[in-house]
């Protein structure tokens, strides 16, 4: 494992989480559902999160025990990339509203240890 590379990837996850939360702050699902640019921006950051976590997990398998639902996060990224036509705005909104704050807290905790 390369701690420096893992930290860089986790930093990317942290920044993408912060961007998502900034993008949706003060917004409702209806705002999200009716704004293609907002949806695209949020989905792009979710793709970055999933890819960075996939790479980090390859370098540090212990992350599986430290990041809630890391496998599902990576699978969500894959679905956004490869199955984009089957992803609903409601699913994306639910994930970014409920799960991104948890992920951000976990990543910050991990990074504060190094």
> Degrees (nearest 5) of the Cα angle 31, 34, 38?
70
List, for residues 73-99, the tens digit of each pLDDT value: 999 999 999 998 889 999 999 999 999
Predicted confidence at residue 3, as pLDDT, reads 85
Residue 46 CA to residue 88 CA, distance in Å, equals 14
Q: Domain limits at 8?
A: 3-112
State pTM to two decimals.
0.94
Given pLDDT bands bounded at 50, 70 and 90, which one contains residue 1? very low
Tell me how many domains the chain contains.
Answer: 1
């Amino acid at each position: 494992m390369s701690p420096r590379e893992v930290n860089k990837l986790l930093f990317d996850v942290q920044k993408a989480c912060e961007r998502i939360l900034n993008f949706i702050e003060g917004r409702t699902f209806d705002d999200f559902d009716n704004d293609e640019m907002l949806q695209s921006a949020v989905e792009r950051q979710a793709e970055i999160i999933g890819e960075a976590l996939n790479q980090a997990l390859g370098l540090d398998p212990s992350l599986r025990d430290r990041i809630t639902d890391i496998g599902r996060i990576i699978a969500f990224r894959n679905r956004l990339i490869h199955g984009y036509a089957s992803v609903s705005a409601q699913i994306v909104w639910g994930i970014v509203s409920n799960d991104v704050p948890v992920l951000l807290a976990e990543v910050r905790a991990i990074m504060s240890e190094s």
